[in-house]
Chain A
Amino acid sequence: MDVLNAIVVLLNFVIIPATAYGAQLALGALGVTLIYGILRFSNFAHGDTMAFGTAATILVTWGLTALGISIAPLPTALLALPFGIMVTMLLVLGVDRVVYRFYRRVKAKPIIFVMVSIGVMFVMNAFTRFLPGIGVDDIRFADGERFLISVRTFKEMTGLEEGLAIRTTQAITVVVAAICVAALFWFLNRTRTGKSMRAYADNEDLALLSGINPDRVVMVTWLIVAALATTAGTLYGLDKAFKAFTYFQLLLPIFAAAIVGGLGNPIGAILGGFLIAFSEVSVTYAFRKVVGYLGPADWQPEGMIQLLSTDYKFAVSFSILLIVLLFRPTGIMKGKSI
C-alpha cells in the first residue's frame, strides 16, 4: 500500500493531462455554444476554424522565429496568437458576409445552417491545407522551456519512486484558458455589448424591439468565436501537435461537451469540457500501476485494468452524449432543447 506514489501516478497520467485537455475542450465548446445561442445552429465548421486559426498562428510563429524574436521560456506561439486571432477574425467575418448572412436574411431553418456550415468546413479545411508549409502532416511548434517540473526534478525533490511532470504547455493551457473564460464572462455580464448579446440570445424579437442592432451582435459573436477557436486550437496544438484532420475529429468531443453542459449555456460548456476530458482520459487509461501501488507490496494486478483501448476514445464522448440525450436533453445546466 503506497498511497503517495499512487496519487502521483494518477496526477501524472490522468489528472494533469485531463485538466489541460478539458481546458482546450472547454474553450472549443464555448465557441460552439456561443454560435448556438446567438446564431442558433450547430457550427460544424468550428473544428476547422480552430485548425485555420492554429495554422495562421503557426505561420506567424515561424515568421517571428525567423526574425529571431522569442519570449523564452514561453513558447513563441503565445506571442503569435493575437496575430493568428486577427487573421481568423477576418476569415470568419468574411465567411459570415459571403455565406451565412444570406440564410439569416431568408430566415432559413437551422438544419440548412448546419448543412451550410459543413460546406464551410470543407472549404476551410482545404484552405488550411493549402496554406504554405501546413499541408497534412503533424507539425510541432512548441518551443521554449519544455517542462515546468520535470520527472527528475520531482523525484529529487520528493524522493518518491514515481515522477511527476508538468509540461509548460499544460500549465499555459490552464492559465490562458482561465484568463479567456474570465474575460468572456466579464464581457458577457458587465459590458453593454455583452448584455445585448445575452438579450439577443434569450429572445430575439424582444431584443430587436428594444433597439439592439442584430448585425452588430452577430459580428461581435463571430469575433469572440474566432478568438476562442484560435486560442483553443493553438493550445491544443502546443500541447500535442497540429494536424488538420485531428481538429475535424475534435468536433465530436466538443459538441458532446457543449450538449452535456447545455447548448447555449457558457458555464455548461466549461463543465462539459472537463467532464468529457476526464471521462475520456480515465476510461482509456490503464490503471495497472495505480492499483498496484494501492494493493499489497510487491504485487501487480494481472491485466492492464483499462476499460477501453484508446482507439475508442470517441466512443466515450459519444456514450456520454447518448446518455445525456436520453435522460436530460437540455444538458446539466439547462440549455435550450428545442
Chain B
Amino acid sequence: MIAAMDKKAVLLFALVGALFVGTGFFESWNTSLGIFNMALVSAIMALGVNMQWGYAGLFNVGVMGFVALGGLAAVLVGMPPVGAAWAAGGLQVLLGLVLGAATIVAAILIYAKMPPTRARIWAMIAILILGFAVFRAVFDSGVALVEAVNPAAEGYLGGLGLPVLLAWPVGGVLAAGAAWVIGKTALGLRSDYLAIATLGVSEIIIAVLKNEDWLTRGVKNVTGIPRPVPYEVELQAASWFTDLSARLGVDPVAFSSVTVKLCYAGLFIIVLLVLIWFSEKAWNSPWGRMMRAIRDNEVSAAAMGKDVKSRHLQVFVLGSAVVGMAGAMMATLDSQLVPSSYQPLRFTFLVWVMVIVGGSGNNWGAVLGGFLIWWLWVMVEPIGYDALVFLTSGMAEGNWLRDHLLASAAHTRLLTMGLVLLLVLRFSPRGLIPER
C-alpha cells in the first residue's frame, strides 16, 4: 500500500503528522489525541464520500443524515433496554411501525399488481389513508405510554444492550438502507436531483432524531453509551496501571485519559486500515475501472453494456454505509447521541471540503484531507486572533470590516469553509494528492 503512494503524498502525510505531534508537544498529548481520534473518524467519513464522488461522481449533500443514522445505531445496539418502557408500550410501538410498513408495502403491491386504471389509484389512496389512520391510532398511544416511563432519565425504549462495537456495522447497515431508498428514487435522473434528495433526507433524519423521544429521547439526548474501552476511573483504580505510571513518572490521572484515547485510536486505526485496504483493492480492480469509465463518460459506458444506474446505486449505498459506520464510531467515542449537534456545516460540508482538499478520487487523499481539515477546524479558534487576521487577510475589504469580522469570530468558520471550497475547486480541483 505504501509503495503505491508517491513521495509527495508521503511528505504531506509526514507534515500532517507533524501537526499532531506539534500539538502534543505545545499543548498536551491529551488534546492532540482527542483531535486525532476525531480526525480518524473524519477520515473514514471522507473515505465514504470519496467512494461516491471520487469513484462515481455522485454528489451527496446529506452526509449528516447518514452520520446521524450511525449515531442512532450506537444507541439502539449499545444502550441497555428499558424494561419498564417495553412493558408499558414497547410492543405496541413496534406493532404500529409494522402496520405502517405493511401499509406502504400493500400500497406498492396494489400499484404493481393491479391494471393501470382509475380503480388502482383509488385503491392505493384508500389503503394509504386507512393504513395511516390505524398506524397513528396504534403507534401514538404506544409512544405516549413509553414516553411516560420515568421521562427525566429514560422515557424511551433503550437499545439491545449488546457490545457497542456491534453498532458500527449496524450503523453502516442503517445508512445503507436509507441510501438505497434515496438512490432508487433519485439516481438515473439528473445529477442535481440526487443532491436535492439527499439534502432533504438528511434534514428529515435529524428531525426524526430530534422529535421521536421514544427512540432517541429527542432533545433530551442519550448519554452514557457503553464504551468498548476501559473507563479512566477503572484504570486509576487498577494497581498495574498506577505502578506503570509511577515507573514512567507521569501523573496517573492524565495518563489514564491518554491511555483511553490511545485505545480508541487503536480501534479506529484498525477500521480505517481495513477500509483503505478494501477501497484500494476495489479501486484497482476491474470494478474500479468500470466505475471510473462510467463516471468519465456515462453514455459510452452504457453503450458498452454497463448498467449505469445500478452501478451508481451500488456505490452510493456502499459509500453511505461507510459514512454510517463512521457515525456510529463517533457516537461511541462521544458516548452520547445529541441530535441537535448535527449541523450540516459540520457533518456534510466539512467532509466535502476534506475530500476535495485531500484529492477526490484518491483514497489516501481523502484520508489526508480528513486529518488536515479536522486539525484546522479544531485549531483555528485556539490559535485565535492571529489565525483570524491571517484568514481574513485574503479578503480585500476595508479595515472596518475586518474589525467587524474579528468581533463576530463565531461565523468565520462558515466563511472559511466556503472560501476554501471555492478556492480549491477553482485553482486546485484535483486536490493535494490527485487521482492517479
- A71 contact set on B, CB distance < 8 A: none
Contact (Cβ within 8 A) B414 A126: yes
Q: How far is the CB of B287 from chain A (nearest CB, A)?
A: 22
Q: How far is the CB of A297 from chain B (nearest CB, A)?
A: 25
Contact (Cβ within 8 A) A249 B203: yes
- A317 contact set on B, CB distance < 8 A: 200
Contact (Cβ within 8 A) B414 A129: yes
Query: CB-defined interface of B168-202 with A at 8 Å, one 1/0 digit per residue?
Result: 00000000000000000110011111011101110
Q: Is A72 an interface residue (CB 8 A)?
A: no
Contact (Cβ within 8 A) A119 B190: no
Contact (Cβ within 8 A) B191 A130: no
Contact (Cβ within 8 A) A314 B203: yes
Q: How far is the CB of A48 from chain B (nearest CB, A)?
A: 10
Query: CB < 8 Å: which of A112, A312, A315, A322 contacts B197?
Result: A322
Q: How far is the CB of B381 from chain A (nearest CB, A)?
A: 15
Q: Which of A4-12, A57-65, A251-259 contacts B (4 or more CB under 8 A)?
A: A251-259
Query: CB-defined interface of B55-81 with A at 8 Å, one 1/0 digit per residue?
Result: 001010100000000000000000000
- B192 contact set on A, CB distance < 8 A: 41-42, 110-111, 114
Q: How far is the CB of B173 from chain A (nearest CB, A)?
A: 22
Contact (Cβ within 8 A) A129 B411: yes
Q: How far is the CA of A256 from the CA of B197 in the complex (A)?
A: 9
Query: CB < 8 Å: which of B191, B199, B356, B417 contacts A110?
Result: B191
Contact (Cβ within 8 A) A311 B415: no
Q: How far is the CB of A246 from chain B (nearest CB, A)?
A: 13
Contact (Cβ within 8 A) A315 B207: yes
Q: Is B341 an interface residue (CB 8 A)?
A: no
Q: Is B300 an interface residue (CB 8 A)?
A: no
Contact (Cβ within 8 A) B200 A321: yes
Query: CB < 8 Å: which of B57, B195, B200, B415 contacts A314?
Result: B200
Query: CB-defined interface of B333-360 with A at 8 Å, one 1/0 digit per residue?
Result: 0000000000001000100100010000
- A99 contact set on B, CB distance < 8 A: 422, 426
- B345 contact set on A, CB distance < 8 A: 122
Query: CB-defined interface of A88-122 with B at 8 Å, one 1/0 digit per residue?
Result: 00000000000100100000011110111011111
Q: How far is the CA of A124 from the CA of B414 in the complex (A)?
A: 9
- B185 contact set on A, CB distance < 8 A: 322, 325-326
Contact (Cβ within 8 A) A121 B203: no
Q: How far is the CB of A144 from chain B (nearest CB, A)?
A: 31
- B190 contact set on A, CB distance < 8 A: 110, 263, 336-338
Contact (Cβ within 8 A) B191 A135: no
Q: Is B95 an interface residue (CB 8 A)?
A: no
Q: How far is the CA of A256 from the CA of B193 in the complex (A)?
A: 10
Q: How far is the CA of A124 from the CA of B189 in the complex (A)?
A: 29
Q: Is A123 an interface residue (CB 8 A)?
A: yes
Query: CB < 8 Å: which of A111, A118, A307 contacts B421?
Result: A118
Contact (Cβ within 8 A) A118 B57: no
- A118 contact set on B, CB distance < 8 A: 61, 349, 352, 421
Q: Is A299 an interface residue (CB 8 A)?
A: no
Q: How far is the CA of A44 from the CA of B344 in the complex (A)?
A: 13
Q: Is B408 an interface residue (CB 8 A)?
A: yes
Contact (Cβ within 8 A) A318 B411: no
Nearest-CB residue, chain B, relative to A122? B418
Q: Is A203 an interface residue (CB 8 A)?
A: no
What band does the interface of chain B fall in when counting residues whose beta carbon is under 8 Å from A? 35 or more
Main secondary structure of the interface of A (DSSP, over half): helix
Q: Is A132 an interface residue (CB 8 A)?
A: yes
Nearest-CB residue, chain B, relative to A127? B415
Q: Is B250 an interface residue (CB 8 A)?
A: no
Contact (Cβ within 8 A) A318 B204: yes
Contact (Cβ within 8 A) B404 A130: yes
Q: How far is the CA of A135 from the CA of B186 in the complex (A)?
A: 36
Q: How far is the CB of A309 from chain B (nearest CB, A)?
A: 7
Q: Is A125 an interface residue (CB 8 A)?
A: yes
Contact (Cβ within 8 A) B426 A102: yes
Q: How far is the CA of A111 from the CA of B52 in the complex (A)?
A: 13
Given contacts A118-B61, A252-B203, A312-B207, contact A123 B195 (CB under 8 A): no
- B352 contact set on A, CB distance < 8 A: 115, 118
Given contacts A42-B192, A119-B422, A122-B349, contact A251 B199 (CB under 8 A): yes
Q: How far is the CB of B115 from chain A (nearest CB, A)?
A: 17
Contact (Cβ within 8 A) A325 B193: yes
* In the complex, chain A residues 237-263 whose Cβ is within 8 Å of any chain B Cβ: 249, 251-252, 255-256, 259, 263
Contact (Cβ within 8 A) A126 B418: yes
Contact (Cβ within 8 A) A329 B408: no
Query: CB < 8 Å: which of A42, A102, A121, A249 contacts B418?
Result: A121
Which of A122, A256, A312 is packed against the most chain B CB atoms within 10 Å?
A122
Q: How far is the CA of A125 from the CA of B190 in the complex (A)?
A: 27
Contact (Cβ within 8 A) B419 A337: no
Query: CB-defined interface of A294-336 with B at 8 Å, one 1/0 digit per residue?
Result: 0000000000000101011011011001100110010000001
Q: Is B94 an interface residue (CB 8 A)?
A: no
Q: Is B88 an interface residue (CB 8 A)?
A: no
Q: How far is the CB of B28 from chain A (nearest CB, A)?
A: 31
Contact (Cβ within 8 A) B196 A132: no
Contact (Cβ within 8 A) B408 A115: no
Contact (Cβ within 8 A) B211 A312: yes
Contact (Cβ within 8 A) B414 A122: yes
Given contacts A110-B192, A118-B61, A118-B349, contact A325 B197 (CB under 8 A): yes
Contact (Cβ within 8 A) B422 A42: no
Q: How far is the CA of A114 from the CA of B132 in the complex (A)?
A: 37
Nearest-CB residue, chain B, relative to A311? B211
Nearest-CB residue, chain A, relative to B422? A119
Q: How far is the CA of A120 from the CA of B193 in the complex (A)?
A: 19
Query: CB-defined interface of A126-164 with B at 8 Å, one 1/0 digit per residue?
Result: 110110100110000000000000000000000000000
The residues of B with any CB-CB pair to A shorter than 8 Å are: 57, 59, 61, 132, 185-186, 189-193, 195-197, 199-201, 203-204, 207, 210-211, 345, 349, 352, 356, 401, 404-405, 408, 411-412, 414-415, 417-419, 421-422, 425-426
Instruction: Sort A-B residue pairs by CB-CB distance and give the 3 closest, nearest first.
Output: A122-B418, A126-B415, A123-B418
Interface contacts beyond A119-B425, A126-B418, A130-B408: sample of 14 additional A-B pairs, CB < 8 Å, sorted by A: A110-B191, A111-B59, A114-B59, A115-B425, A118-B421, A251-B199, A252-B199, A307-B132, A312-B204, A318-B203, A322-B185, A325-B197, A326-B185, A329-B193
A-B contact pairs, 11 of them (CB 8 A): A41-B192, A44-B195, A115-B59, A130-B415, A136-B411, A252-B196, A252-B203, A325-B186, A325-B193, A329-B193, A338-B190
